[in-house]
Chains A and B, each alone.
Chain A
Amino acid sequence: MLTLLKLELEKLLRAKSFYLSFLVLIAFVALMLWGFYSYAARKTGGQAVEQFKYTYESKQYFNGLTFTLYSLLFSFTLLLPIFVSMTAGSQIAGEARAGTLRMICTRPISRASLILSKFLVTALHAALLLTFFIGLNLIVGLIFVGWGNLELYPGPLNLVDVPGKIMRDEALMRFGYAVVSGTWALLVIAALAFLFSVVFDSPAQAIVMTIAAYLTLYIVGRVEFFEHLRPYFFTTDMDFWRDVFKPDIPWQSLWHYACICGAYTAGLLLTTVVVFERKDIVT
């Protein structure tokens, strides 16, 4: 199993898409910095003060931690799921397309072990992406926007019902929690992509199907017509990862949704293993 893991890790490190995902994240952080910086300058300048008497958007509010939080929440909706789908979707189907899957399966290893090792490497990639993204945002935010406490207000980001504040050191800890909770949530998408990767022989098909399923449920979940269906979508359950940024973390609810996501991941992976073991590999 360890040899398998090592081999899969080597494959991941040699893939161009692995480095591309980090490059795109860097570009996104640059874009966010430009947007946030110009917005902060506008909102703390004369124009906003002339129009309204009171605001919470002060220089103190706009700091590196707020920047990182906004950047993370915006990217988690679409950017990170796409990269996770790309890596996971190409794991088995990529081997099939390259013509190496048949050869791998002739080796004295079980197909289940192969799936598990590939999934663990994908999980590592998701964790690395999140760690890199959060770390980069924090460094960029510290250098270009400044340091302070994390202030939260009802409405934007939909995190709190009443204004709240997380002190700087505690907030940094919460970003650490977000790496764990975010990776755990992203594993649902990875597991779905694995299933599609086994079902389809084309990695493009597997990736597109995963993103399509994710986006369909995400969009339908935001349409009021289907409000009663929202609790049954995995995209709704995945949202639990954000709870670590609430001033008082709702641990019970967080564990509940984390377990649901875990059940999705384990269930989808089990299905993937069963389908893969019965699959006649002709490529």
Chain B
Amino acid sequence: MWVKLALLLLFCLMILGAVHFAPPAESEIAPTSARLVHPLRLLTWNIGYAELEDDTRAHDKDLPAVAEVILHQDADAVALQEMTGNAQLNVLLGLLHEKYRGAVAQQGRGDRFEAVLVKDTSAKFMPVPVGARYALGASFKPRDDTSEVLLLSAHADAFNAAQRRTYTEALIDWAQARAQTSQVFIAGDFNFELKATNESNLYTDNLKHDSESYSQILRHFRDLGRGAGDTAINDRRIDYIFGPPSLGHIGRVAVLRDAAVGRMDHWPLLVEVGL
């Protein structure tokens, strides 16, 4: 009898222990973001479509919704991916009531373009050659009393982890060379698959390549959107904003999950930082 009683007692104690030590639910965790006085508000968004569509690049009919999100969030600079080109950019700039200046990257091997939009009218745009592709950089001053900011819009290969790795290495080298003179931020869709639980194997080359790429970025930059959660469908966190490691204050960090329209498979990532 005493064995059964001991086991019953142990069972009850374990249940009580499990309840007592239960980690707080996400909704119970108080947001830690500080309210900044003059934040630099950066937004990144891959506005392309999921693989289900014939054309997975951004669709013109979605541009009003994209513009509305940018205006509503009052972003200082925006990194966009998967645009079709200059014509689409001009439509978007028009929808933004010419409050922003923008440019698309040079055409590389692919059929889609990265773009950067900046509020500052004196912003300078520059191509960033990374292997057979081009990212795009924009340097600007958010305010007169702040140092120069350089925002890169990047989009790494969706299907090949080794190519993502070489792309990331080249991008980091380029950014690092400019980190002495500017506050460099890298934003975009890197397609890193870092959740081993999503892999059927315990150890794969793809997983390792993405791990090496991500770890390489973190040697020089800080992952500002780390706590914001998934940025794309199927529980994937593949859109990032990386900033200088010395960055003092980080304000609001959010993935805007109600912003996607049509068959977009990504949500915008918004990060506020104090310079």
List residues of A whose CB falls within 8 A of some B CB.
51-57, 70, 73-74, 77, 110, 112-113, 115-116, 153-158, 161-163, 222, 224, 227, 250, 252-253, 255-260, 262-263, 266-267, 269-270, 273-274
A52 B11 Cβ-Cβ under 8 A: no
Partner of B169, one of A54, A155, A157, A250: A54
B21:A162 contact, CB within 8 angstroms = no
By beta carbon, the residue of chain B nearest A263 is: B14
A266 touches B10 (CB 8 A): yes
Q: Please state if B195 and A55 are interface contacts (CB–CB under 8 Å).
A: no
Q: Give, as a whole number of angstroms, the nearest-CB distance from B193 to chain A.
A: 8
Q: Restricting to B190-232, which residues have a CB under 8 Å from any CB of A?
A: 193-198, 200, 202-203, 207-208, 210-212, 214-216, 218-219, 223, 226
- Which residue of chain B has its CB nearest to the CB of A239? B197
Contacts A112-B3, A263-B14, A263-B18 hold; do A162 and B218 have CB atoms under 8 A apart? yes
Would you give the shortest CB distance from B202 to chain A, in whole angstroms?
6
Please tell me if B31 contacts chain A, counting CB pairs below 8 Å. no
- The reply to whether A256 and B23 form a contact with Cβ atoms under 8 Å apart is yes
Among A54, A162, A263, point to the contact of B216 (Cβ < 8 A). A54
Q: How far is the CA of A257 from the CA of B20 in the complex (A)?
A: 11
Interface residues of B (CB under 8 A from A): 1, 3-4, 7-8, 10-11, 13-18, 20-23, 162, 165-166, 169, 173, 193-198, 200, 202-203, 207-208, 210-212, 214-216, 218-219, 223, 226, 234-235
Residue picked from B3, B195, B203, most chain A C-beta under 10 Å: B3
Pick from A154, A260, A270, A273: contact of B194, CB under 8 Å: A154
Within 8 Å by CB of B211, from A155, A252, A258, lies: A155
Question: B3 near A113 (CB under 8 angstroms)?
Answer: yes
User: Is A154 touching B18 in the complex (CB atoms < 8 A)?
Assistant: no
User: Do residues B11 and A263 form an inter-chain contact, with CB atoms below 8 A?
Assistant: yes
What are 26 residue pairs bridging A and B, where the CB atoms are less than 8 Å apart in the complex?
A51-B162, A52-B162, A53-B166, A54-B169, A54-B216, A57-B212, A70-B203, A112-B3, A153-B212, A154-B211, A155-B196, A155-B208, A155-B211, A156-B203, A156-B211, A162-B226, A224-B198, A255-B17, A256-B18, A259-B17, A259-B18, A260-B18, A262-B10, A262-B17, A269-B7, A273-B4
A269 contacts across to B, CB distance below 8 A: 7
Give Cα distance in the complex from A161 to B166, angstroms: 21
- B-chain residues with CB within 8 Å of residue A156 when the two chains form the complex: 196, 203, 207-208, 211
Residues of chain A within 8 A (CB-CB) of B207 are 155-156
| A158 adjacent to B196 (CB under 8 Å) | yes
Complex Cα distance, B208 from A222, in Å, reads 19
In the complex, which residue of chain B has the Cβ closest to the Cβ of A163? B215
Complex: how many Å from CA A53 to CA B174?
13
Q: Which residue of B lies closest to A43 (CB)?
A: B208
Measured in the bound complex, the distance between the Cα atoms of B24 and A252 in whole Å is 10
